[in-house]
Chains A and B, each alone.
Chain A
Amino acid sequence: MIVLATGHLARELAFPRAEPVETPRVVQTLNPKVGIHTRLTDEGSTERITRTYRMVRQMGAAWVVEYLPWPYVQGGTPDDADWRHADRLVDRAVMEGLRVVLRIDSVPAWARPPGTTFKHLDPDQYEAFAGFAAAVATRYRGRVSHLVVWNEPNLAYEWGQRPVDPVAYTRLLATTYAAVKRVNPDMRVVAAGLAPTTEPAGSPWGLDDLEYLRAMYRAGAAAHFDALAIHAYGLTLPPDAPADATKITFSRALLTRQVMEQFGDGAKPALITEGGWNDSPRWTYGVAPAARIAYTLRAYQLATEWPWLDAMCLWTFRTPRPNRTYHDNYAFVAPDFTPTPLYLEVQRAARGFVPPEGEP
């Protein structure tokens, strides 16, 4: 026995076995523009993070948008940074062969006045925010392709419960763009997706997204982003409902594109980073589950007909826990990972077949 053990040890020392290397997987899809917004910000389990991204890949989605709140990395002090959760998200997404779009916003308590919300960012902190964005761009070089700067700044509650300010947002965008490009010129800086709304100028709640975008361009925003994020919600209307500036429809994305072209920015691509339909029976703007399936499939097909669109990432893949509000009815997969019929139909359309259970 001793001779055998010694021999075994000698062999291991002479010919050490390499640790198995995980090879990134490849997304199999008939529609390379299919994407989805995951919501793993508050998902602590590596197993569930991995499972989420695996199911995204198995659905036939090549793109994933994820939210990386600044406070979750630098919540304590400006000098501390905890990248563990963010690293896990990026690592697992990349291993599943996904193209990662990270949205960064929110403000740590140390960077805003007491009593303000976590969406309150004052101009004297724009450099600090940009510094965080640059740190993200450095850390995830070659693994994250797009960085979305803020979210729906045309809504008061996304702008710290203050009157919205497209000029201030443009300054934030410019500051962040410069900081990111200094450290990683290949990172695509994406201007924030605006909330589709028809709120008029002077409303305390927000500003019409098309008006807001025009104001951004007039403030010189074109020089400070590489792509535009678009939020495309259909509410109760199908994806082919005609675009109308006075209504919220999925095709409002085409009006957004028109604004880009009107300001000479037609060469720049866009990504839909949120959107879709909701099948809550209680919500005024919900549709029947069967209609939601039909509309979603058509929306992903439309993505292939819009050459200026790089990706269509609908909202939302799964939440870690049920919200028990109509928001649950946006999900493609239940919190317990049960795929909804919507997920299965998108999978069938994106991959041409339904893979067997247990597919790796």
Chain B
Amino acid sequence: MPLVDSPSFEDPGTKLDLEDNSPPEGDSQQAMTLRVIAALLAVAVVALLFLNISAGAERYGTITGVVQDLEGNPLQAEVFVIGVGSDNSVFPDANGAFTLQNVVVGDRELIVGYNGIGQSVRVNVATNATADVGTISVDTALEDG
């Protein structure tokens, strides 16, 4: 018998397991799938974070109009918006025309204040757009005692 065919060359006790130790092919595919899902979710998180930030950012528009008394005379009344972004107020010009800028978009309550009374006008303001409320006639006889 040739030496190479001797049974001693095949020792079950020290035989190395030459089988492939890598995970089964199915496990590799599962791990890859999980990683793809994780990557997609991570992209979704980033996108949602961006959208949340964009939604929270304030957008502004402008309101214009004319203020007069019941006789049609221009009136120097204080014009402002209640609520968010309403720190600014304006007074109409000599013709009663006013422009109120930097108004946070949305449904807003415009106030025309004169002699202690504020006349309320509802107006919807859109982003980078001008909302014209037209002519506001103020009853100057109203008073607050």
A binds B: no
Which positions in A face B, CB cutoff 8 Å?
A: none
